[in-house]
Amino acid sequence: MTDWKECKIADAPFEIIDGDRGTNYPKQDEFSQNGYCLFLNAKNVTTDGFAFNDCYFISKEKDQILRKGKLQRNDIVLTTRGTVGNIGFFNDRIPYENIRLNSGMVIIRPDPKGILPEYTHQLFKYLKSDFDAFATGSAQPQLPIRDLKEIFFLLPPLPEQRAIAGVLSSLDDKIDLLHRQNKTLEGMAAAIWRKMFVEEADPGWPIKKIEEIANRIQYGFTQSATADTVGPKFLRITDIQGGIVNWETVPYCFATEQEFVKYKLNTGDIVVARTGASTGENLFIQTPPRAVFASYLIRIQFTSIALSRYISIHLRSPEYFSYIEGILSGSAQPNANAKQLTSFEIQLPPFDLLDNFYSSIRVLDEKYKINNSQICALSNLRDTTLPRLMSGEVRVKT
């Protein structure tokens, strides 16, 4: 490995660019749901890259006033506040041309003469544990740029960078393809739901709050997470991204048998985040591993899986997230209690129609579960291969 050089981020062949601040920073009333320039927020950069299910935009005029924080193709985005170390790669697959950074993120702009963008993307995923080690603060963790610049890594020659990035990117591509297939499956299920319960809805169906339909509403388990397999998986708010969970990355917790039985997750459960920037984020549980749910989540259970699946699509709708925004409006620290989260009103169709709906989408859900299993397996392979390649423990022929 004599051709690999030890390098500090401060001296590496890439630029670190912070977002715009001060008087030019957009005010709340300058954001819109559509516009010229996407203004990235914390929800848009996840452990699996960019997510664009909750977007805010600014006008062309406002964009031209801002001086920095504008993305260029092949830039890498790193979150440095709140959830530290999430990575997004602004490659040609990203469907937006104009993107700026919100606070709590920085741009990493590689110089391809010294380090390839694809390799930089994988490198910053590899350095996640270092970012966590340098992060300060417990309520709102933050990674100062001055500390970021002090992190060391090994930099191979360009041909080996290309080979390493090729191996890891191929796994990312397969994972991305499965995620896109699942998005298509979600869209097909939602289309069936919309036809049956919106286009063909009977005005005479009763209007009910979710809390009136639920069989049980429960706050989660107060415990600490650990990477050690001391007990069941411990599902937290941060493990849920856009209605998806990668069970391979969910940590564990200690729980007595009595506690496990009380908080055990089952197929058909719906969990909803009740605090922080992700308030209202939710997940429909399908064939979970041995797992419990954390205290900043609530669980909603129903008398049948068909009813639960019907409700789950309501909870992924723009109307539900708009309802949550209304609850949180003006709150300094976003949070909502179980009653607020389940006071959303919906029409309740006849139960035989719900059964017909679930029969129609069951094959889609089964394919979705198979894809998720493959995503977890590929993610695990990628995550175990990444450190071995980036450290030079395993070499790739060039």
Query: Distances from the Cα of 282 to the Cαs of 23, 237, 240, 252, 289, in angstroms?
Result: 35, 9, 7, 20, 18
172 shares its domain with 249: no
- At 240, which helix (H) or strand (E)? strand 240-241
Decide if pLDDT at 10 tops 80: yes
**Distance in angstroms (rounded) separating the CA atoms of residues 36 and 53:** 17
Q: Report CA 291 to chain centroid distance, whole Å.
A: 19
Residue 320 belongs to domain with CATH number:
3.90.220.20
Are 307 and 351 in contact by the 8 Å Cβ rule? The answer is yes
Quote the pLDDT of residue 106: 92
392 shares its domain with 323: no
Mean pLDDT taken over the chain: 91
Q: What is the CA radius of gyration of the chain?
A: 22
248 shares its domain with 334: yes
301 shares its domain with 164: no
Residue 97 included in any domain? yes
Quote the pLDDT of residue 4: 93
Q: What is the dihedral of CA 73, 45, 94, 90, to 10 degrees?
A: 10
How many domains in the chain? 3
* 17 vs 138, higher pLDDT: 17
Residue 300 has φ and ψ, to the nearest 5°, of: -120, 125
Residue 291 included in any domain? yes
Q: Of 137, 142, 148, which Cα lies nearest the Cα of 14?
A: 148
* 384 vs 26, higher pLDDT: 384
Q: What is the mean pLDDT of residues 385-389?
A: 95
Q: Which amino acid is at 301?
A: Q
Judged by DSSP in three states, 349 sits in coil
339 shares its domain with 369: no
362 shares its domain with 339: no
User: Tokens in use for 171?
Assistant: 């796994």
227 shares its domain with 147: no
Query: Which residue is listed with tokens 């209202």?
Result: 280
177 shares its domain with 212: no
Quote the pLDDT of residue 26: 80
Residue 277: CB atoms within 10 Å? 16
42 shares its domain with 112: yes
Residue 189 included in any domain? no
Quote the pLDDT of residue 69: 83
Quote the pLDDT of residue 235: 97
β-sheet bridge partners, residue 8: 152
Residue 297 has φ and ψ, to the nearest 5°, of: -115, 155
* 244 vs 272, higher pLDDT: 272
Decide if pLDDT at 140 tops 90: no
Q: What percent of the chain has pLDDT over 90?
A: 67
For residue 369, give its domain range.
160-181+350-398
Residue 201 included in any domain? no
Burial class (CB in 10 A: 0-12, 13-18, 19+), 181: middle
Residue 75 included in any domain? yes
Q: What is the pLDDT of residues 198-236, one digit of tens each?
A: 999 999 999 999 999 999 999 999 999 998 999 999 999
Are 64 and 127 in contact by the 8 Å Cβ rule? The answer is no
213 shares its domain with 338: yes
Task: Order the strands of the 297-301 sheet from edge to edge.
Answer: 216-219, 297-301, 270-273, 282-284
The region of weakest confidence among 166-180, 296-310, 323-337, 379-393 is: 323-337
Q: Report CA 16 to chain centroid distance, whole Å.
A: 24
Residue 195 included in any domain? no
Q: What is the mean pLDDT of residues 268-287?
A: 93
Q: Of 149, 145, 148, 147, which Cα lies nearest the Cα of 21?
A: 145
Q: What is the pLDDT of residues 328-365, one digit of tens each?
A: 876 667 889 999 999 999 999 999 999 999 999 999 99
Quote the pLDDT of residue 73: 95
223 shares its domain with 285: yes
Decide if pLDDT at 67 tops 80: no
173 shares its domain with 273: no
Task: Order the strands of the 37-40 sheet from edge to edge.
Answer: 57-58, 37-40, 99-101
Decide if pLDDT at 21 tops 80: no
Quote the pLDDT of residue 1: 64
**Distance in angstroms (rounded) separating the CA atoms of residues 267 and 287:** 5
Q: What is the pLDDT of residues 76-116, one digit of tens each?
A: 999 998 888 999 999 998 989 999 988 789 999 999 999 99
Residue 364: CB atoms within 10 Å? 17
Beta strands, E only, 138-239: 152-155, 207-209, 216-219, 233-235
Residue 200 included in any domain? no
pTM, rounded to two decimals: 0.81
Confidence of residue 18 (pLDDT cuts 50, 70, 90): confident
Are 232 and 261 in contact by the 8 Å Cβ rule? The answer is no
Residue 241 included in any domain? yes
Going 164 to 165 to 167 to 168, the CA torsion angle's sign is positive
- At 106, which helix (H) or strand (E)? strand 105-110
Quote the pLDDT of residue 27: 79
